[in-house]
Structure 1
Amino acid sequence: MTITLAEEITLLSLDDESGEAKERQAASWAVAGGILLDLALAGRVSVTGGRLSVTDPSPTGEPLLDERLTLIAAWAGKRTTAPKVADWLAKDQTKAPAATVARLCERGLVVEEQHRVLGLFPVKRYPEADGSAERELRERLRAVVLDGAAPDERTAGLIALVHGAKLHRLAFPGEPRKEIAAKLEKLADGEWAAESVREAIKSMRASMAAVNVATVVVVAG
């Protein structure tokens, strides 16, 4: 089963048993970035100078991507100049996670459960229903990052997003964070994709870095 980059990031962020989302804020930006990167890899959008444009509005055949492609085209079409990638990510990071987890439910990889916090406040959790996709994902990441296997384009893109959002502990639990971060940095900066895709990754990483800095400032304050 081939799933999207956004779904892969979501699987990494959801606790298998409780279904609770971990590192929610950082993961939400990475999920939005994953959708955008898949669209760039599919040749539907391009990024130049940090600005986003739709180059091919035709459907990809993947509902999650096609819905976002339509939204991006409508949103960008209202502007006289190409909008910034950061502006789209800021807009979509609040909505993309829900759309992504709904797609995982459709695939039967997670299941939605309703709970109440303190017996009053309703919350939704998404525990694992089929662990095959996540197992394959983690094996692929370990093969590249820990064992030195050559990454394909999508895996390298996923690594760049994980590193940009600082989701090291979700992707590699139990591994030394500094060592993992150094390996991810090297892979993320590699010449593994076309220039337009690398430009998209660069813009998304810059956006996520800005969010990480802002979060640290808020916490420190």
Structure 2
Amino acid sequence: MTTAPRADTPTLAEDLLLLFQPASGTIAGENTLFYVLGGAVLADLALGDHLTAEAKGRVGSVPGHPPSDGLLRSAWDYLAAKPRGVQTALAAIGPTLREPVLRRLIARGDIDQEPHKVLGLFRTTVLRDGRTERRPRLLADVRRVLVDGAEPPARVAALAALLSASGTLPQFHREIPWTSPVINRAKELERGDWGADAAGAAVTRTVTATVVNSAIGAITVLPRS
């Protein structure tokens, strides 16, 4: 059985939110963010064998096998009540995720918040890269898959697919060149073509690919920023 993330291990939702834009101090793709974060939570549940595919494209919780992480547990509890369509689950789970996920990243030191004034008058905060070096490591993992053609572990495949689905990959052009081969590989990952290394557990891979593709279907009908 796949090992679930420990409570002190970053979730896929944290990985996705960490891939913000430090130059602007903003989070990329805010208007599609809740679908992407919801997709990341469902993908994490699938990768940890906490999620099962049901009839008519629905997903449900694996009875008696809750995750230890609180964010994932909330989604598992929701699906334990009864199986749901993936897009229904995304709409229910995603909207509440941004703030608790951001708080985790700040607490870990992965992201810093700095005070800032707009027009010299209005106080706000901007996000800056933290002290842990985790953001460049994550981008290096995604780059190896999209640029170098490495076969991804399932977790990196899901991360890259969701990042691509969010429509924000072009914003990472300096780290991940926005070229035709990169675009093609990203689309392959969106379709669930993850390669042999990610195919060890067929059911988990199938459920995760279904979650990612359902997130993509939801995201594509929304306006991109």
Please indicate the TM-score interval, normalised by the length of the shorter structure.
Answer: 0.7 to 0.9
Query: Is this contact kept in 1: 2:154–2:205, CA < 8 A?
Result: no
Q: Pick one of 33, 40, 45 that aligns with 1:39.
A: 45
Question: CA-to-partner distance for each residue in 1:38-81, whole Å, 9 max, x for gaps?
Answer: 111111112334212010454433333234333x24xx51x5xx
Query: Is this contact kept in 1: 2:46–2:208, CA < 8 A?
Result: yes
Matches within 5 A, 1:8-47: 8-12=15-19, 14-47=20-53
Q: Do structure 1's residue 184 and structure 2's residue 186 form an aligned pair?
A: yes
Q: How far apart are residue 131 of structure 1 and its match? A: 4.6
Give the whole-Å Cα distance in 2 for the aligned partners of 1:29 and 1:124: 24
Give the whole-Å Cα distance in 2 for the aligned partners of 1:44 and 1:84: 16
SS at match of 2:167: coil
Query: Is this contact kept in 2: 1:60–1:66, CA < 8 A?
Result: yes
SS at match of 1:52: strand
Greater percentage in helix: 1
Give the whole-Å Cα distance in 2 for the aligned partners of 1:208 and 1:184: 12
Higher mean C-alpha deviation, range 145-154 or range 185-194: 185-194
Q: Do structure 1's residue 5 and structure 2's residue 12 form an aligned pair?
A: yes
Unaligned runs of 5+ in 2: 1-7
Residues 214 and 126 of structure 1, relative CA distance in 2, 3 Å threshold = closer
Query: Is this contact kept in 1: 2:47–2:208, CA < 8 A?
Result: no
Aligned position for 2:87:
86
Give the whole-Å Cα distance in 1 for the aligned partners of 2:101 and 2:218: 23
Question: CA-to-partner distance for each residue in 1:72-123, whole Å, 9 max, x for gaps?
Answer: 24xx51x5xx211101111222211222111112212113345565645x65
Give the whole-Å Cα distance in 2 for the aligned partners of 1:199 and 1:69: 14
AA partner of residue 134 (structure 1): R
Runs of 4+ in 1 over 6 A off after TM superposition: none
**TM-score, with normalisation over the residues of structure 1?**
0.79
SS at match of 1:93: helix
Q: Do structure 1's residue 102 and structure 2's residue 108 form an aligned pair?
A: no
Unaligned runs of 5+ in 1: none
Higher mean C-alpha deviation, range 27-36 or range 177-186: 177-186
Residues 130 and 17 of structure 1, relative CA distance in 2, 3 Å threshold = farther
Give the whole-Å Cα distance in 2 for the aligned partners of 1:60 and 1:171: 32
Matches within 5 A, 1:206-221: 206-215=214-223
Give the whole-Å Cα distance in 1 for the aligned partners of 2:207 and 2:62: 15
Aligned position for 2:3:
none
Give the whole-Å Cα distance in 1 for the aligned partners of 2:167 and 2:64: 31
Q: Do structure 1's residue 132 and structure 2's residue 108 form an aligned pair?
A: no
**TM-score, with normalisation over the residues of structure 2?**
0.78
SS at match of 2:148: coil
Q: How far apart are residue 175 of structure 1 and its match? A: 1.7
SS at match of 1:94: helix
Residues 5 and 88 of structure 1, relative CA distance in 2, 3 Å threshold = same
Query: Is this contact kept in 2: 1:44–1:58, CA < 8 A?
Result: yes
Aligned position for 1:60:
67
Give the whole-Å Cα distance in 1 for the aligned partners of 2:94 and 2:209: 16
Number of aligned residues: 209
SS at match of 1:112: strand
